[in-house]
Amino acid sequence: MGEKGLVSSTSIVVQLGSLAGAGMRRVRRISAAVAWLYLALQPPLSAQVIHVDHGPNALAQRSKPYVIVVSLDGFRYDYAAKYHAKNLLALAKSGASAPQGMIPSFPSLTFPNHYSIVTGLYPEHHGIVANNFYDPVRKQRYRSADAATVEDGSWYAGVPLWVLAEKQGMRSACFFWPASEAEIDGMRPSYYLHYNPTVPGEKRIGQVIQWLLLPPADRPHFITLYYSEPDHTGHEAGPESPETGEAVRQVDGLIGKLVAELKPLRLPVDLIVVSDHGMATVEGNWMDLDHFADLSQFVTVGSLLYAPSEGAASRAYRQLQGASDKFVVYRRGEVPVHLHFQSNLRIGDPVVIPSGPYMVRAHASEKPEIVQPDVKGGHGYDPQEMKSMRAIFFAVGPDFRAGAMVEPFENVDVYPLIARILGLPIGAVDGRLAPLQGILRQPQSSDLPPKD
Ligand code: AMP
Ligand code: ZN
Ligand code: ZN
């Protein structure tokens, strides 16, 4: 869990964190210089933005509001209050919020959940069942860190919001979002970038503002913006650490900056800030499933198990059953219904689900001496069982009621909400508008007669 960025001074420092004193200071200086050089050699942002010309916004779309969805990766539902994220707390006053959190889909990992938020589908239906998984029919692996698979649209089912918009003549833009680099259903966002975690936070905001300053014909109405913090620090230092508190305040500062820069535009912008999942303090050593079951003939990816035959699946199931109190094993067809994790072959069979904040993998790593996880924080667990997996939801703008609070709801419900605000008809999805209808101002701006 927890892929690292390309080059960042913090990750270099953390990896070499065991050095002390003068040596450490030298490493810090060198790593800062490397990071600076790397950034200096990057092409300017304008050259990194890819423009796919789909023509101007259809006339009927120009009077619609603008929706910006910001994701703060791994921002646990209680971080804003716990770490005094003043800008997010201010959003809760001027708009709507879910004080007890938004419930991620299972598994509570980055790629499945970002894609659930923008498709309204559970991972078993949209197909991105983990950050890394195997497809037994294609006989291929999907890896979130592999551009070749991430950019290959044939992995993704469902209609992401940017595709929904583009197909109805409404322009969209993605400043990063899992799947935004792929052509899905024959469509891409009008503006997008290849994922590059080194692009500074403020620059991302600057680009979003530039998009909103385009003439109405070209101006995207649906925009995504992604930050990999506080997930990264949450893994490294744990959710309860001062470092994570600092990471929370940093991304909160970015939200403050975004709000401030949106104001002078005087556009009807609905700003929705979400996260994909929360974070738990991991406990104990790695649980290696091959300690309990013969997995030598299985394809395995992390804790996912792909059996060579029905007989092998049933044998491994029996061997893993009751083997430890750190996990529960199910045949795929019997995974608890609330997890919506049965119908896709990419899930594998049997299915192992940790019973608490434990790190489970099929095999001991290449280095069997590594028995302790190298992270302090983790996620991926059952969000209905573990409250620490809950994510955030804040929504402010002309379509949201100030001070509205909503009970915990599932993240697949965000899709019908945004489609409703943008007046975009949708097909059948897992999400429902009903849990969020109460936070909307009536009538929605999309129901109003067009403005000129
Ligand atoms: P996770 O530990 O599941 O939360 O994964 C978080 C990591 O996913 C982040 O640290 C990012 O580096 C990575 N990530 C997020 N978005 C993308 C993307 N669009 N393409 C590739 N990697 C991404
Ligand atoms: Zn993570
Ligand atoms: Zn994440």
Return the CATH number at 328: 3.30.1360.180
pLDDT in tens, 119-130: 999 999 999 999
- CB of residue 195 inside a 6 A radius of ligand 1: yes
Looking at the structure, do residues 238 and 172 belong to the same domain, yes or no?
Answer: yes
SS3 call for 290 = helix
The ligand 1 atom at the shortest distance from the C-alpha of residue 232 is 10
pTM over 0.85: yes
The answer to whether residue 449 is domain-embedded is no
- Confidence at 22, pLDDT banded by 50, 70, 90: low
Tell which of 374, 403, 428 closes a domain.
Answer: 374
CA of 234 to the centre of ligand 3 (A): 10
**Spatial CB neighbours of 348, under 8 Å, sequence gap ≥ 6:** 133, 134, 136, 304, 305, 306, 307, 332
Q: Is there a domain that residue 382 lies in?
A: no
What does pLDDT average to over the chain?
92
Do 54 and 20 belong to one domain?
A: no
Q: For residue 161, report the distance from its CA to the centre of ligand 3, in Å.
A: 19
In a domain, 184, yes or no: yes
Quick one: 137 and 260 in the same domain?
yes
Nearest ligand to the CA atom of 2: 1
Kindly state the percentage of the chain with pLDDT values over 70.
Answer: 90
349, 374, 399 — which closes off a domain? 374
The domain of 61 spans: 47-280+387-439
Q: What percent of the chain has pLDDT over 90?
A: 85
Could you please report the per-residue DSSP string of 322-361?
A: TS-TTEEEE-GGGS-GGG--SS-GGG-BSEEEESSS--EE
CATH number reported for the structural domain that contains residue 165 in this entry: 3.40.720.10
**What pLDDT, on the 0 to 100 scale, is given for residue 39?**
66
Residue 23 pLDDT level (bands cut at 50, 70, 90): low
Question: Within 13 Å and on the Cβ side, how many CA atoms surround 230?
Answer: 33
Tell whether 51 and 120 lie within a shared domain: yes
Give how many domains the chain has, as a whole number.
Answer: 3
**Are residues 240 and 118 part of one domain?**
yes
Q: Is the CB of 252 under 6 A from ligand 1?
A: no
Among 374, 401, 424, residue at a domain's last position: 374
113 and 28 in one domain? no
Whether 446 is covered by a domain: the verdict is no
139 φψ region: left (φ > 0), alpha (ψ -120 to 50), beta (else)? left
Instruction: Answer whether 229 contacts ligand 1 (Cβ < 6 A).
Output: no
pLDDT digits (tens, 9 = 90+) for 351-366: 999 999 999 999 987 6
3-state secondary structure of 405: strand
Active site residues per annotation: 110
Same domain, 137 and 69: yes
Note whether residue 444 is domain-resident. no
Candidate of 113, 144, 275, 376 to mutate for ligand 1, largest count of ligand atoms within 8 Å of Cβ: 144
In a domain, 126, yes or no: yes
Binding site membership of 132 for ligand 1 (Cβ less than 6 Å): no
Q: Do 70 and 18 reside in the same domain of the chain? A: no
Identify whether residues 271 and 237 lie together within a single domain: yes
> How do residues 399-449 score in pLDDT, each as one tens digit?
999 999 999 999 999 999 999 999 999 999 999 999 999 999 975 455 444
Q: Is the CB of 231 under 6 A from ligand 1?
A: yes
Shortest-distance ligand to the CA of residue 391:
3
Q: Is residue 380 a part of any domain in this protein? A: no
Q: Are residues 240 and 366 in the same domain?
A: no
Q: Are residues 72 and 173 in the same domain?
A: yes
- Least confident range from 33-37, 179-183, 194-198: namely 33-37
The Cα–Cα gap between 220 and 216 comes to 8
* 141 lies in the same domain as 246: yes
- Residue 309 located in a structural domain: yes
